[in-house]
Amino acid sequence: MNILAQKARLRHYKRLNSKFLKDAKELLKKGDVVQASEKFWGAAAEIVKAYATERGIKTRTHNDLWQVVIDLDKKNPALTLLQDFNQAGYLHSNFYEDELRPEAVAAAGEVVVEFVRKIESLLKPSVK
Percentage of the chain beyond pLDDT 90 is: 93
Burial class (CB in 10 A: 0-12, 13-18, 19+), 3: exposed
Q: What's the total number of domains in the chain? A: 1
Burial 91-101 (b: 16+ CB within 10 A, else e): bbebbeeeebe
> What is the distance in angstroms between the CA of the first residue and the CA of the last residue of the chain?
20
CATH assignment at residue 46: 1.20.120.330
**42 belongs to a structural domain:** yes
**128 belongs to a structural domain:** no
User: What confidence score (pLDDT) does residue 124 get?
Assistant: 85
Mean pLDDT of 81-110: 97
**18 belongs to a structural domain:** yes
**58 belongs to a structural domain:** yes
Percentage of the chain beyond pLDDT 70 is: 98
User: What confidence score (pLDDT) does residue 32 get?
Assistant: 98
The rounded mean pLDDT for the chain is 95
User: What confidence score (pLDDT) does residue 126 get?
Assistant: 64
User: What confidence score (pLDDT) does residue 128 get?
Assistant: 46
Confidence of residue 118 (pLDDT cuts 50, 70, 90): very high
**111 belongs to a structural domain:** yes
Burial 46-63 (b: 16+ CB within 10 A, else e): bbbbbbbbbeeeebeeee
Which range marks the domain in which residue 81 is found?
A: 3-122
**56 belongs to a structural domain:** yes
Q: Is the pLDDT of residue 14 over 80?
A: yes
